[in-house]
Each structure stands twice: as structure tokens, then as C-alpha cells.
């Protein structure tokens, strides 16, 4: 491979912008060589912003560019699986955004193509690369808290997406909570056995039209006994709320929210600190950077991807179990899904 | 009624000691006139410690003492209902510790006796009297956080009780989580509709012999939409973990743990603060005091009990719903229980 | 001595009320038998509030009461020394509020009378009895932070006293910072060598009429090398600000302010916690209680007073050094004062 | 000027590395074109690390390079003034590290050369660019805390430099506290009038050989009345301690330390958070980036430097006043120095 990792970005939307910025400015070992989007204006604007030399209106054209080593798939979920297959067949290494795909068949098909081709695959769960999460996982594995018993993951967006976004999102479990399902396996270093889910449309009644909810609470039982609660909300007026805690026989590990700055104001009404960092583009910049550097390390220095296609599949299975539980009002076994 | 409220304590065990101390030293408007326990040594020792003039070996003898205005029932749960009936029939006002009783029939019978006799009844959920909980409820009712959407209640004891205690405790939901069931109704000012519960024996395998668990996670759906998670553990190595949070459309209210003191040590390994206050006898002293003062206010100045027999019954119903859910693995409607 | 310590309160003003309440309700081993004040209405009202049986309009009458074991001197500073002499001569044990007196001659005279009479003397620096301060001193002495190098004491009242109070207060150093001078010796377990002080009238220009300031900053060099900064303000709009920190070769110990409750509100403007406890009557209730119990322990069980007349004198010497420094703009040696 | 700002780094030591990294990787509008150091190995290594194309062994050769727009002066303090003159005469814009110089004559000479030549000059006090400090200054100017009355600046390095470094550093006031002197003017938006300083050699007795101290406490009176305390230590075992607070008539603004991550461990000994970020290279990365972007903005888009040569001079004057105060034990007027 060339001295620098040559990246092609597929999809110039919100998350495509995040990765274009990351690989252009925060990963010294990589350069972004091309961006493809079926909306040529979006692709062009992104290319201009980060000095990306080539623009395509079709991901297949990008895949045909021999000067590209690897692609970052940032399109809507429905296209992920086919694009992974296309990329693998073109011999390009793949970094795919979450969720891997909506159907397990599509996922299995895509992962088989990756396997056949021998390309490197990194599943894009950025929160695994957060310094706090990484430290907790390391400490859990090292036994610092003994046997994990209780886990809480709280993830609340600052404001809800549009109903249009919701229409094709696949629902809160596979679109939003997918991060937390992956994080629960990552933090506990354990596999889920049973899932219970319940949700409600409390913020945007319109989401109910698409059989979706905007507020959800899930309980997961893990093989080694730990019980994990995940709550998701599409709106937290105080900013992006991102907290985890794992309690075990010997202690508890947890994270605090990251705030806009480190100041405090003391006035007649008490002590005030600023809002939480507004959203993932602010809160997880360092995690995206670490993730990008990790992808480059995998390809340039033989590091092992810390988030695999199987991890991506496992999170989708959990989301499907949650969906079935929410519909039936009962505990659903992971083994019922696949 | 006499100038000071004259209290009789029934039951000289752990919680009897708490109330004997509270009414003897922290409630200026009350005096403790007698204590009854079938174990006369326990009663005598408690009487000596707080200068209580009269000791009985039978609660009926205490109830026959005309110089007593009100009783605090601190016996094991199985005796609560009958003693309430006895006290009501004797014309004594009643403050009864949690849980009200194990069976709804017994509860209904006891509350009917209270009603017939016209005595005042205060249900003893001490956490309602905590200054933080009180402030959150007041703010929720005042609309400070808009419509409540998500709620978390975490309650973890510092160390597990004996297996002997567990044998007659009624199980974690009615013995321990009963506090949190009540607190969820109190904080959200709303009624539960459905309950899902799951638990595990992760700390003391012996508890399983009595069909009990030491770790439990419950999800409750409330009428107005809020979803509440409660977790309980019989052991938190860092001290009594007592946290609540309520998130709504306009904000979030939460409490921090109270620590042993307000110091911090900064050393080579970072910043360290002391343990959480060890258990309820330390953490909730001010709440027990406020509760005692409230009971005196009800009887001396006509205040309305802020925790009624119906509140006590509602928490038992929630505990029974949780128990059924844990056994069946499904969401249980409150209306299924009673 | 009788089973219970029989206390007489001299002075029914603000601090007299604090000690009357403390010894009446928070020190089980003591009873308040009498209160004396030249303002009989004040004495009578205080007596009624706490059920104190006897009221005097002259401290000498109180001292003549054989049923009193010990007095708590709560009068204005100008009367302290003479009253200590009177009490000692009457064979009453003495607990004297800060500051000991304005002049060193008066102090030496009073302490000589105490010595001659053999009564027990406790100097009333309540902050020594704060659980946080006590823990820091214990840890400093145990070597937890190695050699103390830097110390900060911040003490800010919520709102300024009246100009009338200031007129006879003796000035900020001897009236207010006296607490912090004592605390610096207590926390560092070391003796001061040199003092630099500077102050300004920033809040109440009227205080300047009495040659006083409302804002002051003092630097103290201790024998073993530590340098300590004390700041005082007569007004902190967010409540009584009480913080200390001691940094040494092996770490740093510090305290946080105590807030009105343990809640947090998260809203559109960020995270808010309540005001600091408003003033010493709220913030130091537990310290006053511990101090009262300590005084009873000294007299009933032979404990050694943890704050002596010499400690009271040392703080006044520091205040005088500060005053001289503020007037001359130079570092003043403790040995220049006495 | 060319589209991108072309930077030359003069001095390849510790701070030269920081700026080489900043301008190479964190300031998109700038490129580093050359580095000069009398130690050619140091220059070459730095050039290699960041892909800097040209290396010089003499700053004058760098100044002769017409492809360079501006220089960042990162040499030892003794060379600053002459290099500013050389750069100004060569028509290069100048960003000079702190302190400006040791002597006021040299400073005045250098600033005159800057003025004559018309080049842009930015004084390098990186802490002005910290987001917390910037917010506090903005709020102070906006009147959020009313009239500033008390200010604390605490700055403690994690571990002492070598005695060799101390030998030519100019002493703690001009080498280390210079940052805090500038910060006091920046935060309070006010000018100092009088300074008192005291220090001690508590960490490294060897520093005393060079008439330096490792621990210092300074008090500054400002024109508008505020009193500011600065403490500096060459060693804080818990990491780089960087805190400020400003208290005024309407409130208090302060900063917290930034820690290694946002995790907490709760165990048998209490609650633990990680160390403070170790030193300025970690703690102030974002401030150095903002500073670099600001320098580029000044040159590319006409922004006004937010830290001038006069600011650099004012801090040196304060350092000299502190030095004189420490030697004489008296309050020194700023007007005595210059």
C-alpha cells in the first residue's frame, strides 16, 4: 500500500461530512482522494470544503479508481450491504457506518463477500473509540470491578430528527439504540441472552405514523448474569446526554457528560455549569479521530479491527430482539432472532 | 391531645431503634412513652438508651396504656396488618413502617379498621421526606421539567442482609424495592400502568433457596407516558447508592449521592472523594426527622398525612406486579393485580 | 459534677441563640439552666424558646447560681476578658466565643485567672469541629500530603453586617478573619512567622468610616515553610463560601462548599445546583453540635480541650499582625506583636 | 499575502515543537515552511516529524527566505528581543513566545522596531486562548459578576524543571508566573497598581543557588479595587493544576481542572477521578490551536491581535515588581518599575 492510506468517501450527508473532515484533517496517515454521492452538488461541496480532488455521482465509479485503497460507507442504511459487496469485489478495504444493514440475510451476504475477498473490514461504532468507554472496558476486563452485575447506558439526542428521516430510519432500536447495544457488549465484554423493550411516542406524535417511538427503555440480561438498562430519547433540552455506568462486585465505573467548557457561574440562584456538548459531531470528535487513526493502523500497520462485521451483526440482532419485545410485551431470547 | 405527642414504639429491632431515637431526640413536639417487643431484653435496652419510661412484652398492653396517643409499628411485615387493626380499635393513631403487609386482603382489612375508627394513619416511606426528593416532586408538579418522560431510580444497599432475614422478607420487590415503587409515584405524581421485572442472584447464591434475588431491574410505564427504570442491588461496595433522575420535555432533575464528608484528596492517582454515607440510618437521618415532625404536625396541628394507606397499598400492588412479571417474563398490567 | 452538664449562657444575641439551641437540643449530656443578658427581653425570649428555667439581667447573678457548672460567653468581644475572669473566680468552667479579646493584656489577664482557678477553658472556634476540617488536619498530621507547601482559606459571608455592628467589631481581621487565622494553624499544624495583609472597602463604603474594610487578602508564612493565603469578603451573593485547601509534596486536600440540597437541574442553559448553605447558622450546625459535645466531654469525661486559650491568643496576635501589615504595606513578623 | 500563511519556526526546543505541531496540523490556513535552530539536529528532527521542507542553523537565514511570511520565536528568552528586531527589519510578522524579554530596554527597543516596520506582532500568552478563560473575560466585561472584587489564579506544574533550566530562566516570576500576571489583567480587564510577593524553596533546594524559589504567592491590587492572589508551584503530584476564579458583586466565575478522562471509579475507599491533564502540552492543546488560528486570522483576514507587545511588556513589569517585593518584603507600586 502507498505510504498514506487513500480514502474514498461514499455518501456526502451528515456522517459523510464527519468522516471527510476526520480523514482529511485529523488522521495524518490518510488522505481523502474522492467522494461519491448520487447528489453531485453535495459531493462537490464536500470536496471543495476539504480539498478532495475527485468527485463521483456513483459509488461504482469511485470503486473503479485504482488510486483508492479503502472506502468509508456513509450512505443510508438500506444501501450498506450492497455497497460492501461492491467494495469487497473491487478489492477495496471497507469502513462501514452503523447500522450494518436492516436484514440479517443482507448482512450475512455482505460479510461473506468481505471474507471471500480478503479485504479488511471495520464496523463504524464510534463510541468504542471514546477514551472513557475504552478505559471502562479495559478496567472491566482487568477485573477492577469484579463481576459486572448492573449496567446503565443513557443516550439522548439534543433534538429529534425530521419525520422524513424517521420514515426510512428503521426505527429507534436499529437506528439509534444500535450504538448502545454495541456499547453494552463492549463495556461488559459479554454476550446478551434476553432482551425486553418498551417505548413511547412522547415528543413527536408524527413518528407514530411510521410505527416508531421517540423514547425507549430496554433491559438486557447477559450470559454472565449482568443486567443492563438502556434508555434512549430523541430529545434532551440540556444537550447530548451520554452516560454509562457498570457496577460489579468490587466497584462501579461510570462516565460524566462532557460540557461546553470547564467554567462555573455562582450567582443568586446557585451554581451553574454550561450545557452538555450539543451532539455527536461535538461530543465524539476525538472518538472519530481515534477511529480513523485505528482504521489507518489496521491497513498500514496490521492492527486488528476492534469492531468487526460480527459485532455489527450482533447489534442488529439485539435491535431486532428489542423490536419484537416491544411489539409482544415479553422478554425475547437472542436465540429467537438469529 | 396533650401538649406533646406521646408515642409508643412497637418493635425494638433495627427500624424501631431508628424511630425511638428520632422521636426521642429529633422531634421536639413528641415524647416516647413506651416501647413493646416480644423480646423483653430488646425493649428494655432500647428504653434505657433513650430514657423511655415504660416497657411491654406485648403490643396489646402498650395499646391499653391511656397515656399513649399514637404508635409507630416497627415489627416484621407479617404482623403489620393485625397490629394496625388492634391500634385503630384501641383509638391510637398509627404510623406504620413499610411494607404495609404482604396480602392485599390484609391491607384492605387494616385500612378499613383505620377508616372505621377515625384515627390518623401515616404510611412510613421515609424517602418522601428527603429534601432532594421533596424538591424534585415540587418542581415536577410546578412544571419545571415539562412532561416527565424518563425516570431512573437507583437504590443499592451497602451489603446484603442475612439469609435468615431474606427467608421472611417477602422478596426483594416487596421488601426493598417497595421504597422505590412508592418513590416513582411520588416523584412522577402519576400512577403506574404496566410493570416489567427481571432479577438475578449474583451476590448471595443462598438467597435463591428462598426464591429471592439480590439484583433486580424493573421498568414501569406510567399513565401519562413516562417510563421509569428502577435498579436494586443488595450490595454496593462504595456505600449506600441512592440516586434518582426525572427527565421531561423541559429539563432534567436529579440527585447526587451524599458522601461521608465534603473533602477531596488529590494524589498521584487522581482525585478522590469519600464513600457514600453507609446506609439508611446515616443517609436518611434528616428524612426520618422530617417524617417524625410531620407525624406530630398531623396529630397536633391538623396537617394531612403526605403518605396514606392507599399509597402503602399501591406500592404493594406494584411489588406484586413485579413479582409476577419476573416469574412470567412479560409486561404485567397493574390492573391484573388489584 | 452532676450527671448532666449544667450550662449558663451569657449573652442572648445571635451567637447566644446558636449555643442555647445547641446545648438545649443537640448535646444530650448537657442542659441549659440559665441565660443572662443586660437586655432582659432578649434573655426571656431565648429562655422561652428553649425552655431555659432561669433568666438573669446580669452575668454576675448567673455566676452566683450554684446549680451552674459552666458558662458559654456569647457577649460582644469587649466584655469577654472580664467575664472570663469573673467566671473563673466563681469556679465556673468557661467556653468563650471568638475572638478572645481585643487586647493582649486583657487576654493574658483572663488566661491567668483561668489558670489560677483551675477551671476548664474551651476557646470557641467552631470550624475546628467541622468534619471536613478535622479530617484534613488528621490527614496532614498523618503525612498524607507530605510537607505542606501551599494553603488557601476562603471565607465569604453571604451579606454584610450593619455599619453599627462594624463600629465595635474591631475590624475584619479580628472579627471575621480570626476564624481563618485559627484554621490556618489548625490545618497546617504549624505556627505562623510572618503576615502580609491588604484590604479594600468595595461593598459598603460606610465601613471605611470606621477604618474597616469589607474585602481582605492575607498571606502568611509558616515556620515549616508553608505559605497560606486567606481571603475574606463580607458578601458572596451565592451563599456562605467556605473552602480550604492544603497542598503538599505528596498531594492536596480540600473541601467543597455545602449546598442547600443534593439536587441538580439540567435545562436549556446548562446544569444548575442550589446555593451554598446561607450562613454559619446553617453551614456549621454539625460543627457547633460537635463542639458542644466536646465541651461536655471535657467536663464530664476528662477530655482535653482541643482549642485552648493559647490558641485564642495566637489568632488575635495574627489579626494584630495583619492589621499592622495592612497599615504599613509590609510583611510583619509575628514576633513584632507578641 | 499568499493563500496560506507561511510560517518559519525559530527554535526547535519544547515550545518550538508545540508550535510546529500546531501550525502543521491544527491550523488549516497555515503551513510551516522552515525551522531554524543553532542545534541543527534538533531542527532536522522537528522538520522530519512534521514534513517541514527547509532547515536552517541560523534564524537570520530563515529571515532571508522570501517564501516565509511570519515567524514564531521559540528560543530562550535572552534571544527574544534581538530576534524580534531582526524579524521586523526583515519584514516578517512576529509571534513571540513568553516572556517578551528580561529587560524593559530590550522590550522597548524590540517593540519600536515592530512599530517602525509595520509588521503584525502577536504576544504568545496561550492561556488567553483557552475557552474557559475567554468565556470568563467576556462575562466579566459584560457585567455578569458586577464589579470584580477578589480573584484567584492557581498554576502549578506537575514536576520541577532541571536546575540547569532554572539557571537561565530569569526566576519564577518572569519565567512561570508571567502567564498568570497576564491572565490577571486579561480576566479582570483592569490594570495592576501594587504587588506583594513571597516565595520559598520547598521542593528543590538547589534552585536557591540561583536565587530562585519553587513556590510563590503573590497578591495584586488592581486600579478598580479588585485584589488578586496568584500561587505558583513547580510541583503538583496530581497533575497540572490550572484554576482561576473571579468573584464580584453579582457572582463568581471559575474554572475546574481538566482531567485525563471523564470516568469515575467508585470503590471501597470512595469515588475516584483521574489525574489532571499532565502539563501544558496536553491541557492547552486547544488553546494553542485557537492561538495559531488567531495569528493566521490576523494576517490573512485583518483580525486585531488579542495580545500585544504592550501586554507582553505589562506582564514583565508585574514580574519585576513581584521580584522587588519578594526581595524587600513590601508592597511595590507598578509605577516604581516602569
A152–B203 CB contact, under 8 Å: no
Q: List pLDDT tens digits, range A84-135.
A: 999 999 999 999 999 999 999 999 999 999 999 999 999 999 999 999 999 9
> What are the Cα distances from residue D112, in Å, to C63, D1, D85, D107?
79, 24, 8, 8
Q: By CA distance, what is B204's nearest residue in A? A: A249
Binary contact (D238, B268; C-beta < 8 A): yes
Of A136, A250, A261, the CB nearest to D267: A250
Minimal C-alpha gap between A212 and chain D (Å):
33
* Residue A264, all three cell numbers: 462555573
Q: Which chain A positions have a beta carbon within 8 Å of B251's beta carbon?
A: 237-238
Residue A320 φ then ψ, to 5°: -65, -40
What count of CB pairs under 8 Å joins A to B? 114
Pairing, β D30-36 against β D54-56: parallel
Q: How far is D41 from chain C (nearest CA, A)?
A: 37
Beta-bridge partner residues of B253: B246, C265
Q: What is the mean pLDDT of residues B208-228?
A: 97
Residues of D in contact with A290 (CB under 8 A): none
Distance from CA of D54 to the nearest CA of A (A): 20
Listed residue (D190, D121, D118) closest to D151, CA to CA: D190
Nearest to A179 by CA among A197, A196, A201, A156: A156
Helix axis angle, D14-21 to D40-50, nearest 10°: 20
Which of A236, A270, A276 has its CB closest to that of C275?
A: A270
The reported pLDDT for the residue numbered D1 is 52
All residues of chain A having their beta carbon less than 8 Å from the beta carbon of residue B237 are 249-251
Give tens-digit pLDDT for B157-197.
999 999 999 999 999 999 999 999 999 999 999 999 999 99
Q: Among residues of chain A, what percentage have pLDDT more than 70?
A: 99
Q: Do D132 and A267 touch (CB under 8 A)?
A: no
CB A92 within 8 A of CB A6: no
For every one of its 338 residues, what pLDDT tens digit does chain C have, with 9 covering 90 and above? 558 999 999 999 999 999 999 999 999 899 999 999 999 999 999 999 999 999 999 999 999 999 999 999 999 999 999 999 999 999 999 999 999 999 999 999 999 999 999 999 999 999 999 999 999 999 999 999 999 999 999 999 999 999 999 999 999 999 999 999 999 999 999 999 999 999 999 999 999 999 999 999 999 999 999 999 999 999 999 999 999 999 999 999 999 999 999 999 999 999 999 999 999 999 999 999 999 999 999 999 999 999 999 999 999 999 999 999 999 999 999 999 98
Taking contacts as CB-CB distances below 8 angstroms, the residues of chain D near C330 are: 329-331
Q: Which of C263, C266, C268 sits opposite B132 (nearest CB)?
A: C263
Average pLDDT, chain A: 97
**Min Cα separation B91/chain C (Å):** 31
Compare CB distances from A238 to C237, C268, C276 and report the shortest one's residue.
C268
Positions of chain D with pLDDT under 50: none
For residue A1, give every residue at least 6 positions away whose Cβ sits within 8 Å of its Cβ, in sequence order, or none.
A69, A299, A300
If you measure CA to CA, which chain C residue comes closest to B246? C265
Numbered residues of chain D with Cβ closer than 8 Å to any chain B Cβ: 236-238, 259-260, 266-276
Q: Of A237, A271, A274, which is closest to C273 when you measure between CB atoms? A: A271
Q: Where are the alpha helices (DSSP H) in chain A?
A: 14-21, 40-50, 59-63, 77-89, 104-117, 131-141, 163-167, 172-175, 178-188, 280-283, 285-301, 309-328, 334-337
∠ CA B22-B27-B32, nearest 5°, is 65
Nearest residue on chain D to A135, alpha-carbon basis: D263
pLDDT of A160 strictly over 80? yes
Q: Which chains touch B (3 or more CB pairs under 8 A)?
A: A, C, D
Whether D255 sits inside 8 A of A265 (CB atoms) is no
Q: Which of C267, C269, C273 sits opposite A270 (nearest CB)?
A: C273
Q: Say which of A253, A257, A262 has its CB closest to residue D255.
A: A262
CB contact under 8 A, B263 and C132: yes
Beta strands in chain B (DSSP E): 5-10, 30-36, 54-56, 70-73, 93-97, 121-124, 148-156, 192-200, 215-222, 227-233, 241-248, 251-255, 263-267, 270-273, 332-333
Q: Which three cell numbers stand for residue A329?
A: 410485551
Interface residue ranges in chain B relative to chain C, Cβ cutoff 8 Å: 25, 28, 131-132, 135-136, 139, 144-145, 250-258, 261-268
Instruction: Determine contact, residues B169/B98, Cβ cutoff 8 Å.
Output: no
Give the nearest partner residue to A217 out of B227, B236, B250, using CB atoms.
B227
Q: Per CB distance under 8 Å, which residues of A are interface residues toward C?
A: 236-238, 259-260, 266-276
**pLDDT tier at B1 (50, 70, 90 boundaries)?**
low
Question: Which among A28, A253, A267 has the least Cβ separation from residue D251?
Answer: A267
Name the band, by pLDDT with cuts 50, 70 and 90, for residue B338. Answer: confident
**What whole-number distance in Å separates Cα of residue D80 and Cα of residue D124?**
12
Q: Strands across the sheet with B30-36, in order?
A: B54-56, B30-36, B5-10, B70-73, B93-97, B121-124
Partners of residue C28 in chain B, C-beta under 8 Å: 25
CB contact under 8 A, D271 and B237: no
Question: Is the model's pLDDT at A296 over the cut of 70?
Answer: yes
**Could you tell me which residues of chain D have a Cβ less than 8 Å from any Cβ in chain C?**
147, 149-150, 152, 154, 156, 194, 196, 198-200, 202-203, 215-217, 219, 221, 225-227, 229, 231, 233, 235-238, 241, 247, 249-252, 329-331
Mutate to test the interface with D, among C217, C246, C329 (most CBs of D within 10 A): C217
**pLDDT value of position C13:** 95
Comparing alpha-carbon positions, the chain A residue that sits nearest to C268 is: A238
The DSSP secondary structure of C122-191, one letter per residue, reads EEE-GGGG-HHHHHHHHHHHTTTT-SEEEEEEEEE-SS---HHHHHTT--HHHHTTHHHHHHHHHHHTS-
Q: Are D182 and D262 in contact (CB under 8 A)?
A: no
Nearest CA in chain C to B244: C263
- Distance to chain D for B283, nearest Cα, Å: 15
Are A49 and A19 within 8 A, CB to CB? no
A253–D267 CB contact, under 8 Å: no
What pairing do the DSSP bridges indicate for beta strands D241-248 and D251-255?
A: antiparallel
Rama region for C143: left / alpha / beta (φ>0; ψ in -120 to 50; rest): left
In this prediction, residue B124 carries a pLDDT of: 97
Which residue from D260, D271, D274 is facing B238, i.e. has the nearest CB?
A: D271
CA of A158 vs chain C CAs: smallest distance (Å): 10
Give me the residue from B145, B254, B264 closest to C254, CB to CB. B264
**Yes or no, beta carbons of D198 and C217 under 8 Å apart:** no
Residue C24 burial (C-beta neighbours within 10 Å; 0-12, 13-18, 19+): buried
In the block, residue with C-alpha cell 422478554: A331
Pick the residue of C154, C270, C275, C277 with the most A CBs within 10 A to test the interface with A by mutation. Answer: C270
| A269/C272 touch (CB, cutoff 8 Å), yes or no | yes
Do C251 and C143 contact (CB within 8 A), yes or no?
A: no
Closest CB from A266, A267, A275 relative to C270: A275
Count of CB atoms situated within 10 Å of the CB of D146: 13
Closest Cα in chain B to D272: B272
Cis peptide before D29 (omega within 30 of 0): no
> Number of A:C CB contacts under 8 A?
51
Closest CA in chain D for residue C151: D231
Q: Which residues of C touch A269 (CB under 8 A)?
A: 272, 275
Amino acid at each position: 500500500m502507498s505510504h498514506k492510506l487513500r480514502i474514498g468517501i461514499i455518501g456526502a450527508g451528515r456522517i459523510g461530512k464527519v468522516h471527510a473532515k476526520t480523514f482529511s484533517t485529523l488522521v495524518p496517515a490518510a488522505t481523502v482522494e474522492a467522494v461519491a454521492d448520487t447528489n453531485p452538488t453535495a459531493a462537490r461541496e464536500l470536496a471543495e470544503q476539504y480539498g478532495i480532488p475527485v468527485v463521483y455521482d456513483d459509488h461504482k465509479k469511485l470503486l473503479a479508481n485504482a488510486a483508492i485503497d479503502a472506502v468509508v460507507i456513509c450512505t443510508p442504511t438500506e444501501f450498506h450491504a450492497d455497497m460492501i459487496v461492491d467494495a469487497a469485489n473491487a478489492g477495496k478495504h471497507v469502513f462501514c457506518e452503523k447500522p450494518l444493514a436492516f436484514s440479517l440475510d443482507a448482512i450475512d451476504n455482505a460479510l461473506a463477500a468481505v471474507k471471500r475477498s480478503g479485504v479488511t473490514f471495520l464496523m463504524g461504532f464510534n463510541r468504542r473509540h471514546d477514551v472513557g468507554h475504552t478505559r471502562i472496558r479495559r478496567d472491566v476486563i482487568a477485573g477492577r470491578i469484579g463481576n459486572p452485575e448492573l449496567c446503565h447506558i443513557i443516550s439522548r439526542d439534543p433534538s429529534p430528527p425530521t419525520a422524513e428521516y424517521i420514515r426510512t430510519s428503521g426505527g429507534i432500536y436499529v437506528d439509534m439504540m444500535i450504538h448502545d447495544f454495541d456499547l453494552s457488549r463492549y463495556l461488559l465484554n459479554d454476550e446478551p441472552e434476553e432482551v425486553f423493550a418498551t417505548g413511547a411516542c412522547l415528543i413527536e406524535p408524527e413518528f407514530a405514523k411510521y410505527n416508531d417511538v421517540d423514547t425507549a427503555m430496554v433491559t438486557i440480561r447477559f450470559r454472565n448474569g449482568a443486567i443492563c438498562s438502556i434508555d434512549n430519547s430523541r430529545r434532551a433540552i440540556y444537550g447530548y446526554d451520554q452516560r454509562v455506568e457498570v457496577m460489579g462486585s468490587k466497584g462501579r465505573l461510570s462516565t460524566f457528560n462532557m460540557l461546553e467548557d470547564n467554567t462555573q457561574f455562582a450567582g443568586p440562584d446557585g451554581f451553574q455549569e454550561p450545557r452538555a456538548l450539543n451532539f455527536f459531531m461535538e461530543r465524539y470528535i476525538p472518538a472519530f479521530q481515534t477511529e480513523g487513526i485505528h482504521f489507518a493502523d489496521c491497513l498500514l500497520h496490521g492492527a486488528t479491527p476492534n469492531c468487526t462485521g460480527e459485532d455489527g451483526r450482533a447489534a442488529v440482532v439485539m435491535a431486532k430482539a428489542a423490536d419484537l419485545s416491544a411489539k409482544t410485551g415479553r422478554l425475547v431470547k437472542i436465540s429467537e432472532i438469529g
